[in-house]
Structure 1
Amino acid sequence: MIVVMKVGSPAEEIERISQEFADWGLSPEKIVGKHKVVIGLVGETASLDPLQIQETSPWIETVLRVEQPFKRASLEYRHGEYSEVIVNTPDGPVSVGKHHPVAVVAGPCSVENEEMIVETAKRVKAAGAKFLRGGAYKPRTSPYAFQGHGESALELLAAAREASGLGIITEVMDAADLDKIGAVADVIQVGARNMQNFALLKKVGAQDKPVLLKRGMSATIDEWLMAAEYVLAAGNPQVILCERGIRTFDGKYTRNTLDLSVLPVLRSLTHLPIMIDPSHGTGKSDYVPSMAAAAIAADTDSLMIEVHPNPAKALSDGAQSLTPDKFDRVMRDLSIIGKTVNRWPQPQAVLA
């Protein structure tokens, strides 16, 4: 249930009625929009009469029920206003959301050595990326496949962060590693295989770093949004949803089926920012540029693209990785579409 306050509502009145709702056993959450303040009411609201609530203050404009099972993630919960996630990077804050330029995340599947990750970070930044991705801990189908270098790889990501100024996105697999990952990462990634690891989602939601939540390979949109609800309900409002391809009946030509239809669907359901990962979504580097372009045209907020200096020798996912030179060309092509739809960052003015 949400309580929409009138324009110009006094702060004291908002605090008063919030306290009254808390006295009723509800959890009021103040959401400050561009023009109005909305109070989200979480708890047992089924028996509450919206008209009775509206009578508690002349400053209440309307009271609405949130019909979706995912309450905090619902677009209704923010009264139709899209949220943004602001990530503090060494180069300054980067905003991810519908009303901001497309934020590009790039880098290798796995962190292999210092020279490789630092050089890749510098190259993708020069091409326009805002974040470096790289796995220190890797969930793999086979127990014999490369699992990542673990804690030592976090040190290499920290070195790449310092050398490039990029924000770092890396995956957590075990809540026991969350503190040490959080000490390096600017965004904590929950991978597709852990999307419904509810104990992990609660732990990730209890910390204050932004969270990138990848869609499970067989997850419905409702299941995905309910997973986001776990993070939001634990207290962390900074969630980015990442579509990375789903498993369908045809796996011969692509690794997964990249579901670009989630962009308009999610826009109608949730206020959360959306990222598209065409690398995992297709599994083949030749298909990445066109799917990235399509994602921008369909209004994505962010892209995640795998880049490796030598894909043929990558320890994981080389087939879907672009070389730095190819990434340069792709970014130039994407800028044309991005500028057309007014979603591409403008170059900074050079002072004389």
Structure 2
Amino acid sequence: MIVVMEQGATDEQVQATVKRIESLGLKASVIVGTERTVVAAIGEKREHAKESLESGEGVATVTPISAPYKMASREVRPEPSCITTLDFAAGAGKIGYVAGPCSVESEEQILATARAVKAAGATGLRGGAFKPRTSPYSFQGLKEDGLKMLAAARSETGLAVFTEVMSTEDVDLVARYADVLQVGARNMQNYRLLEAVGRAGKPVLLKRGASATMDEFLLAAEYILNEGNDQVMLCERGIRTFESHTRFTLPLASVTYLHRRTHLPVIIDPSHGTGHTYMVCDMAVAAIAAGADGLIIEVHPDPSTAASDGYQSQTFDEFQRTMNRCKIVADALAGVK
């Protein structure tokens, strides 16, 4: 349920409402808006709970939450969320650009990439230290050595580090080095991992599973939010369909749909969403035109020699051209009332 407090409700009245919610066996989450404070009451439906909460001092209205995902819903938080870390910001009118290689391969590679993408305008650096690969014989990443290289690149450039965490056992280790914990598509419904990253206290980039519905995607985000971590970004990276001309099918309609349903920022991954370098720029620009809150793009000094995903990675020059075009579109849209 959503408990909307009256305008001018005191802190004491808000805290009294929180205590009453908890006494009913529900979890309370206070959301301070520009005009009113809202307290979300999350949990199994309790008999007479609505009537009990409506009688509290300072309470204006009590409304059931219709969406199955409670904390992610715009019913709870009508205003869009903005996720920030270092110079990176995404949501509520801010567009965050993240770029870097699929895998961290060497200190020279990641430092050169970090310098180039920062010069082009990126504020986040992506790079895999732990790599989930379909084949057990494929390159699995440099693990902690890769994390140290990412941290070194951040120290020089100031870019926020985005990297994937694959298991609950690795959350604390990755969180020591990363600014944003990425949950990959294969792990979108790994609920114990979602709970663990929720408790880590770092922003989380949650990628949509290749066959996941929107409700499943948002309910996965709910696991993270339910741990008290409201710093969640949703990443559309394409879904599996009957088409074979792209690696996945990138549904940019997801941006509009998710903005209607949730306050969480929506990031688009045109690299995995297409699987072909020549498509990445156009899809990145289209994503910005659709209203995406950010992009995450694979960039490599020499894609032909990349340990993984070179066929969908941009060169430094290609990424610069992509950023130039995206910024033209973003600036044009910012001027439209």
Does the pair score TM above 0.5? yes
Deviation at 1:49, TM superposition (A): 5.3
Deviation at 1:222, TM superposition (A): 0.7
Mapped contact 1:70–1:226 kept (Cα < 8 A) = yes
Deviation at 1:81, TM superposition (A): 1.7
Question: Which residue of structure 2 aligns with residue 157 of structure 1?
Answer: 150
Distance in 1 between residues matched to 2:175 and 2:159, nearest whole Å:
15
Question: Which residue of structure 1 aligns with residue 197 of structure 2?
Answer: 204
Letter in 2 for 1:156: M
Question: Which residue of structure 1 aligns with residue 56 of structure 2?
Answer: 56
1:337 to 311, 314, 329: 329
Mapped contact 2:84–2:90 kept (Cα < 8 A) = yes
Letter in 1 for 2:65: V
Distance in 1 between residues matched to 2:65 and 2:279, nearest whole Å:
39
Tell me if 1:223 matches 2:221. no
Distance in 2 between residues matched to 1:17 and 1:229, nearest whole Å:
23
Question: Which residue of structure 1 aligns with residue 185 of structure 2?
Answer: 192
Distance in 2 between residues matched to 1:188 and 1:207, nearest whole Å:
9
Letter in 1 for 2:11: A
Letter in 1 for 2:295: L
Deviation at 1:269, TM superposition (A): 1.1
Distance in 2 between residues matched to 1:142 and 1:23, nearest whole Å:
51
> Partner of 2:89: helix, strand, or coil?
strand
Distance in 2 between residues matched to 1:49 and 1:286, nearest whole Å:
56
Deviation at 1:188, TM superposition (A): 0.1
> Partner of 1:341: helix, strand, or coil?
helix
Structure 1 residue runs of 5 or longer lacking an equivalent are: 344-352
Deviation at 1:52, TM superposition (A): 4.4
Deviation at 1:48, TM superposition (A): 3.0
1:95 to 89, 100, 116: 89
Distance in 2 between residues matched to 1:330 and 1:26, nearest whole Å:
47
Tell me if 1:84 matches 2:67. no
Deviation at 1:51, TM superposition (A): 4.4
> Partner of 2:282: helix, strand, or coil?
helix
Aligned residues: 335
Question: Which residue of structure 2 aligns with residue 3 of structure 1?
Answer: 3
Deviation at 1:86, TM superposition (A): 2.1
Deviation at 1:177, TM superposition (A): 1.3
Distance in 2 between residues matched to 1:32 and 1:225, nearest whole Å:
22
1:283 to 257, 265, 275: 275
Mapped contact 2:82–2:94 kept (Cα < 8 A) = no
2:176 to 175, 183, 189: 183
Alignment of 1:196-275 (within 5 A): 196-251=189-244, 253-275=245-267
Deviation at 1:45, TM superposition (A): 2.8
Distance in 2 between residues matched to 1:153 and 1:49, nearest whole Å:
51
Distance in 2 between residues matched to 1:249 and 1:335, nearest whole Å:
33
> Partner of 1:296: helix, strand, or coil?
helix
Mapped contact 1:130–1:166 kept (Cα < 8 A) = yes
What is the TM-score normalised by the length of structure 2?
A: 0.97
Distance in 2 between residues matched to 1:327 and 1:56, nearest whole Å:
55
Mapped contact 2:31–2:38 kept (Cα < 8 A) = yes
Deviation at 1:24, TM superposition (A): 2.3
Deviation at 1:84, TM superposition (A): 1.8
> CA 1:52–1:239 in 2, change beyond 3 Å: closer, same or farther?
same
Tell me if 1:65 matches 2:58. no
Mapped contact 1:101–1:342 kept (Cα < 8 A) = no
Mapped contact 2:24–2:46 kept (Cα < 8 A) = no
Question: Which residue of structure 2 aligns with residue 350 of structure 1?
Answer: none
CA RMSD of aligned residues (A): 1.3
Question: Which residue of structure 1 aligns with residue 20 of structure 2?
Answer: 20
Letter in 2 for 1:323: T
